[in-house]
Structure 1
Amino acid sequence: MTLDPKPFLTSIFDAAVAAADPNLTIRSHLPAKPKGRTILVGAGKGAAQMAAAFEKAWDGPLEGLIVTRYGYGARTERLEVIEAAHPVPDEAGLEASRRLLELVSGLTGDDLVVALICGGGSALLPSPAAGLTLADEIAVNEALLASGAPIAAMNTIRKHVSTIKGGRLAAAAWPARVVSLVVSDIPGDNPALVASGPTIPDAGSREDALAAIAAYGIGLPEAVMAHIQSVESAAPRPDDEKFARNEVHLIASAGVSLEAAAAEARRQGVEAVILSDAIEGEAREVGSVHAAIAREVAARNRPFAKPVLILSGGETTVTLKAKGKGGRNSEFLLAFAIGIAGVEGIHALAADTDGIDGSEDNAGAFCDGSTVPRMRAAGVDAKAMLAANNAWTAFNAVGDLFVPGPTGTNVNDLRAILVR
């Protein structure tokens, strides 16, 4: 094959992101116009871009408020965009939550609330329950991020310490009709778990939250534990009459983006296979398994014939053991690089489709069989870096970070492995 691996893998990422472009997805999901007001609310790392696309497509009166991550804003004419902190909440997010709840209060049955929800909304919408503080919610978020718990378990816990998550924003808008347009970054695509479901209730109970806290050994402040154990923490149920008129539309997901990525590979003459769009687990363990599959293809032409592009999505987790730099995609790829060290013909990209992996400015990284030897030549011990959760530093040392910038969408992680 004469393909240049990095540009090829970058084109695969671009195709996956383009499939979730809100300018394409929003227009086909516009709700019917109401007799009364139309209020747009939104939260997530791609919410501002979704709002800009909705504003272009909507030809009636419109007002609203969107909260997104710092640096992820978009130009709008009729809508206000607030930026706040992610992944750890801050005062700007707290104020945004207060204003969103205020914006949807006092509506009538003739009014329409359109909610634009995507990944990142959990951290961007801090709204601690009575008796709790922003510091408590920050402590919860930090403990969850370090726990290794899957995103579904995290969001079940988050909604039980909040006055806006778990359907509570939609309940505050009642009797107005609420239409939620959701970009899923959740394995399995349960829309109620995206951003902890501010407008979509789910059946996860406080007993489920307590079970997850115990299962993953999550240490939370005493006040938080006392609140979750109390009946006051119970979230709205999906069968509550306040949600009877509401609609939920999944407008983009990892599965759709993976199919688009596969189609782009085939367009360029490379067969593509999708392992799954819902892979979870420790990033380094998932990376090692993907490396074993790639080695099998390279050495024995099974279970797939080469050349082939192996794709997967989902959301892995990282149980923090040190305070290095990196994110789940970088950690996945460092374990993968260790697993394919010295093997020719394997090239990979692992990246978050929102453009940011963890707390740094990269979406992920590239690697091939020469990555670990090049790290060694640069004075970097790949295994030591992996043990220290320091994948960003390892890939930065060899110039293999992938930095596309904010993409305006978020359909979870993309892992693309080319075996030539």
Structure 2
Amino acid sequence: MAAPTTRVVRDDLRVLFDAAVHAVSAEVTMLRALPLATHGRTVVVAVGKAAAAMMAVAQARSPKPLEGVIVTRYGHLPPEGTSWPGVEVIEAGHPYPDERSVAAATKVLDIAHGLDAGDRLLLLLSGGGSALLAAPAAGLTLDDKQGVTRALLQSGATIAEINCVRKHLSAIKGGRLAVAAGAAQVTTWIISDVPGDDPSFVSSGPTVADTTSLAEARDIIAEYGVQTSPQIAAILADPANETPAADSLGLAGVETRVIARARDALVAAASQAGEFGYQVMDLGDQLQAEARHLGASHAALARRLAKDGTPRAILSGGETTVTVVNKTGRGGRNLEYLLGLAIALDGAPKISALACDTDGIDGTEDAAGAVVTPDTLIRAAALGLDARAHLDRNNAYDFFEKLGDLVVTGPTLTNVNDFRAILIEGDRA
């Protein structure tokens, strides 16, 4: 069935994104029955970009008020605010930790240390927690953590590689929060933002046993040529800083459940695309590559598929990387993906695309992502914008901002990472 001629493809793209985000919202994915302690207290620690929404659903579904703490990125609270007695709210830095991140980690560790046997720690975890909970290992400063985080994020390292290093420089990550909870029950519900959905890598797995090692962390630092302080080098060389083993101090008994993932978002978008009349090609939710290169590759695929005139939706998820050469550039991985795609499409007719981060923020700017249409490069040239120069200087945000093609949603209060959709209009009926 051909896609209806009256539908604006740009609108279709936005509807697909909205369907994807809704499918992984806390309201849809949070379990109905909360694991409450039978003899003691249940304390809820909600951490990440979805923290406030997850806490709200937990409170609504609990038979009694819950105490605890919300730790989220600045600006990622619902417009109506939060007002639960016994719940502290801490907003902190992301993607780089700040002093509030340290205060948040201290608060959460204090909560865990204060639990007794028969109590339960319910951790509601989503992406962003690696920066939001910063407890530098003994001998490290916040400046040390900020520096290595910035260098890794700009190096092109994958999120798994970055979090491997983070876990070995922390007093809370890599299962250490579960250790701090002692004999208390620990339950973790996760909205996953990492390719593969390994819970040990979501927010660096504060309650999940780590499968990486100090040696791997050192190799990552060396592979990407990251310059570290002598203190960081010393920490990574000290066997005492290896993350806790799975069978140590109760970690083996921790209950962990991934409740939402990028796959769920793609399934919802595919269903919607089918209703619109597009034949769906799902490339998977674990794509990892340099953003601009993946964009060029997807452009070649779209051009090839467009030849038969069939309306198609090419969907994908995952987390690309960006190697930053211009430290003052503005943009994120989704914008670089789109600019690489637009250049490779070179105005190919009837092909449009959207790429957005499901948390509503791509990189450090205020946009979730942007849209590319067949006339993107023509409109850019009319404004004197050189697409290649903007990409080379990591200035994709400025490019799409001047075109008026940014997608600005504000924080969505969920996060399963990147969502990409390419629509081929095909031959209209």
Q: CA RMSD in A?
A: 1.2
Assess if the C-alpha contact under 8 Å between 1:340 and 1:368 holds in 2.
Answer: no
Q: Which residue of 1 aligns with 2:297?
A: 289
Shift, 1:241, TM fit: 4.1
TM-score, normalisation: structure 2 = 0.95
Q: Which residue of 2 aligns with 1:418?
A: 423
Measure the CA separation in 2 of the matches of 1:316 and 1:132. Answer: 29
Mapped pair 1:57 → 2:61: yes
Which structure 2 residue ranges, 5 or more long, are not aligned? none
Q: Give the letter for the 1:366 counterpart.
A: V
Q: Which residue of 1 aligns with 2:178?
A: 170
Assess if the C-alpha contact under 8 Å between 1:168 and 1:198 holds in 2.
Answer: yes
Assess if the C-alpha contact under 8 Å between 1:26 and 1:50 holds in 2.
Answer: yes
After TM superposition, list the pairs within 5 Å mapping 1:249-260 onto structure 2. 249-260=257-268
Q: Give the letter for the 2:57 counterpart.
A: A
Shift, 1:33, TM fit: 3.7
After TM superposition, list the pairs within 5 Å mapping 1:125-136 onto structure 2. 125-136=133-144
Measure the CA separation in 1 of the matches of 2:57 and 2:134. Answer: 25
Q: Deviations over 1:298-332 (max 9, x none)?
A: 23x3xxx7201100000001010112100000000
Q: Which residue of 2 aligns with 1:263?
A: 271
Mapped pair 1:72 → 2:79: no
Assess if the C-alpha contact under 8 Å between 2:316 and 2:421 holds in 1.
Answer: yes
SS of the equivalent of 2:352 reads strand
Shift, 1:255, TM fit: 0.5
Q: Which residue of 2 aligns with 1:398?
A: 403
Shift, 1:242, TM fit: 1.4
SS of the equivalent of 1:244 reads helix
Identity among equivalent pairs (%): 47
Shift, 1:76, TM fit: 4.0
After TM superposition, list the pairs within 5 Å mapping 1:90-239 onto structure 2. 90-239=98-247
Shift, 1:146, TM fit: 0.7
Q: Deviations over 1:43-69 (max 9, x none)?
A: 111111111111111113521011100
Q: Deviations over 1:237-268 (max 9, x none)?
A: 22224113311110000011100110111122
Q: Which residue of 2 aligns with 1:333?
A: 338
Assess if the C-alpha contact under 8 Å between 2:32 and 2:61 holds in 1.
Answer: no
Measure the CA separation in 2 of the matches of 1:292 and 1:208. Answer: 35
Shift, 1:170, TM fit: 1.1
Q: Which residue of 1 aligns with 2:22?
A: 18
Q: Which residue of 2 aligns with 1:7?
A: 11
More divergent stretch after superposition (179-188 vs 45-54)? 45-54
TM-score, normalisation: structure 1 = 0.97
Q: Deviations over 1:17-61 (max 9, x none)?
A: 111111121134622543100011121111111111111111135
Measure the CA separation in 2 of the matches of 1:28 and 1:237. Answer: 32
Assess if the C-alpha contact under 8 Å between 1:73 and 1:81 holds in 2.
Answer: no
Assess if the C-alpha contact under 8 Å between 2:179 and 2:249 holds in 1.
Answer: no
Which structure 1 residue ranges, 5 or more long, are not aligned? none
Q: Give the letter for the 2:58 counterpart.
A: F
More divergent stretch after superposition (39-48 vs 278-287)? 39-48
Q: Deviations over 1:87-138 (max 9, x none)?
A: 1111111111101101111322200000011111111111101111011111
Assess if the C-alpha contact under 8 Å between 1:51 and 1:76 holds in 2.
Answer: no
Q: Which residue of 2 aligns with 1:243?
A: 251
Measure the CA separation in 2 of the matches of 1:238 and 1:276. Answer: 30
Measure the CA separation in 2 of the matches of 1:178 and 1:137. Answer: 27
Q: Which of 48, 55, 65 is the equivalent residue of 2:52? A: 48
